[in-house]
Amino acid sequence: MSDQLLGSEPQRRSILQTIGGVGGLALFSSAAAGSMADSDDCAPGASGRPDYRLPELPYAYDALEPHIDARIMELHHDKHHQSYVDSANAAVEELEEMRANEDFEGIRSTKRDLSFNLSGHVNHTVFWASMSPDGGGTPDGALATAIENQFGSFEAFQAEFTAAATAVEGAGWAMLFYEPLADALVIGQVEDQNELAHQGATPLLPLDVWEHAYYLQYENDREAYVDAWWNVVDWTAVGQRYEILTELRCGLNQETGDTGNATAGSDTTTDTDTDMDTDTDTTAKDADHSN
């Protein structure tokens, strides 16, 4: 993602702080991650109480026209997204009061409110950063290679993503995730935000298909909205997010010694396993002889 898209350094810090953590850094760019690395906020436990904030749009309200009109962008960002931020912060305050009073009677509802609204905040933050007035076309680099390897072609990927987006039941999202356990790209549906099925996966490319994202312009024609949206996808930003996540995974594997190549259910017997079996057999025989 370009510095122009992320804005000034204070703005980059603000955007990253809306999410925080390694996952938050990976959602944006290596340049932004570097700006956070020099911050005092990197000290363990320095973040303190969560304070979620609405990030600025990285472009003007009308920048995505004619594909998404200015009024939709204004309402979507300033009203809907702001509501998620406010509600997430309110849930945090309620939890603090519960702790102070040692009264957790309403914790189920409050935890669900936090989950729903924080998910909405994160999803929208990545959504804005995944679009650009100079978007459209196709990805390149490592992301393009991964899409071709896993889906067969960009056209096949696009067709599956479009089908998933138009088929979301009720309100929700279609998303391209990076799933680190298998080093895989996964297309998923997130309905009502609390039902994220791909645990541990990070959104690379989210598409909001709640009606507030398109109804003023496309009415109930979600498919037309999805088709138009491809013209504003910022593949540079999405590709950078993918490269950061794969680099983080490789770095973690190197630290732990995990090559990441093991396949569930495969025969993973090694020479070490054989040696252990031999030692066990020898010990057992020695025990038999001692009796």
Q: What is the pLDDT of residue 133?
A: 98
pLDDT along the chain (291 residues), means of 10: 37 39 40 37 69 96 98 98 97 97 96 94 96 97 97 98 95 94 93 71 94 97 98 97 90 58 38 43 43 37
Q: What is the pLDDT of residue 193?
A: 78
Backbone angles phi, psi at 267, to 5 degrees: -80, 105
Q: What is the pLDDT of residue 42?
A: 60
CB atoms < 10 A from the CB of 186, how many? 15
Say if residues 177 and 185 touch (Cβ distance below 8 Å).
yes
Q: What is the pLDDT of residue 249?
A: 83
Specify which residues 187 forms β-bridges with. 176
Q: What is the pLDDT of residue 45?
A: 66
Say if residues 201 and 186 touch (Cβ distance below 8 Å).
yes
CB-count burial class (<10 Å; 0-12, 13-18, 19+) for 53 = middle
CB atoms < 10 A from the CB of 106, how many? 13
Sheet holding 172-179, edge to edge: 184-191, 172-179, 202-208
